[in-house]
Amino acid sequence: MRRIMPSIVAVAALAGLVSYLGAVSSQADQEAAPIYGIKIPKGYRNWQLISVNHLAGGNLKQVRAQLGNDVAMRAFREGKLPFPDGTIIAALHWTEVSSDENNSVLASGFPGASLQSFVAGSTVNVQFMVKDSKKYAATGGWGFADFTNGKPGNEALHKTCFSCHEPAKARDYVFTRYAP
Residue ranges that bind a copy of itself, judged by CB under 8 A:
3-4, 7-8, 10-11, 45-49, 51-58, 60, 63-65, 67, 73, 92, 94, 96, 99, 101-102, 104-106, 109-110, 113-120, 123, 160, 164, 167-168, 175, 177, 179-180
Give the residue with the Cβ less far from a copy of itself, 101 or 155: 101
Spatial distance between the Cα atoms of 15 and 21, rounded to a whole number of angstroms: 10
Question: Closest approach of Cβ 82 to a copy of itself, in Å?
Answer: 18
Q: Please, which residues have CB within 8 angstroms of residue 51's CB and are 6 or more apart in sequence? A: 65, 66, 176, 177, 178, 179
Decide the pairing of beta strands 88-98 and 142-148. unpaired
Give the residue with the Cβ less far from a copy of itself, 31 or 101: 101
Spatial distance between the Cα atoms of 155 and 135, rounded to a whole number of angstroms: 18
Question: Closest approach of Cβ 174 to a copy of itself, in Å?
Answer: 12
Spatial distance between the Cα atoms of 16 and 12, rounded to a whole number of angstroms: 6
Give the residue with the Cβ less far from a copy of itself, 6 or 25: 6
Question: Closest approach of Cβ 134 to a copy of itself, in Å?
Answer: 27
Question: Closest approach of Cβ 94 to a copy of itself, in Å?
Answer: 6
Asked if 71 and 88 count as a contact pair (C-beta separation under 8 A), the reply is yes
